[in-house]
Structure 1
Amino acid sequence: MVFTFKGQLDAFSEKQFKTFVTNNLKNQLSFVIDLTKIDFLDSSGLGALVQTAKECKKSKLGFSVVGNSRVAQTIKLVRLGDFLNLKSSLEDALNFLKN
């Protein structure tokens, strides 16, 4: 599954993001969080991504994150690239989940 988000992932949208992802974790399917259309990512958004990663690891679900250059730079700046399985393209993320 691929979840594509657009707009901003910040304190105002964090709750909606977490609710959506948590509801879909029940499907027990690996997924990609596509943030290539996100304009802005703040610490609340990063926190939501970290929480998602922890829940996936606990449930042994595969996941990956794809972001545009701004989002990827923010994630790498706080050294969460590996933890969030950050990939440079949707194709790379899908291949990561296949392995």
Structure 2
Amino acid sequence: MTVSLRGGFEQRQGCLVFSFTGQLDAYSEKQFKTYVEDVLNANLSSAVLELSNIDFLDSSGLGALVQIAKHCNDSKRSFTVVGNARVIQTIKLVRLEEFLHLVPDLNAAFTKLSA
């Protein structure tokens, strides 16, 4: 990742859970998108993007999330995005909460994906 964004993934409850800390912005969005898509291409599991520790999300970061959502939709993969108050507010501001399957916590994400 970059200096402004750190993260990784783990397999939990049959899902790939990506967790990130820092800023998802113009400086980190390309590496973020490439990293997530590379892992998704190597796995068939559902995906959770855990963004509760993201301090800042700008339009470039939103664009990366939209591209990942399209990637998941094209590959018929279930996914959801978990966010903190700041992330949720930014996503709702541009009315992407339904498209990104936004939920407030990991428990809600696992419930949504298992339904």
Match in the other structure for 2:23:
8
Task: Specify which structure has the higher proportion of helix.
Answer: 1
In the TM superposition, what whole-angstrom CA distance separates every residue of 1:15-43 from its partner, at most 9, and x where no partner exists? 11011111111111101000000000000
Deviating runs (4+, > 2 A) in structure 1? Answer: none
Query: Structure 1: where are the runs of 5+ without partners?
Result: none
Q: Output the aligned Cα RMSD.
A: 0.6
TM-score normalised by structure 1 residue count: 0.98
2:38 to 23, 29, 37: 23
Whose Rg is larger? 2
**Percentage of matched positions with identical amino acids:** 62
**Correspondence 1:33 to 2:49:** yes
Greater RCO (CA < 8 Å, at least 6 residues apart) = 1
In the TM superposition, what are the counterparts of 1:1-99 in structure 2 within 5 Å? Answer: 1-26=16-41, 27-99=43-115
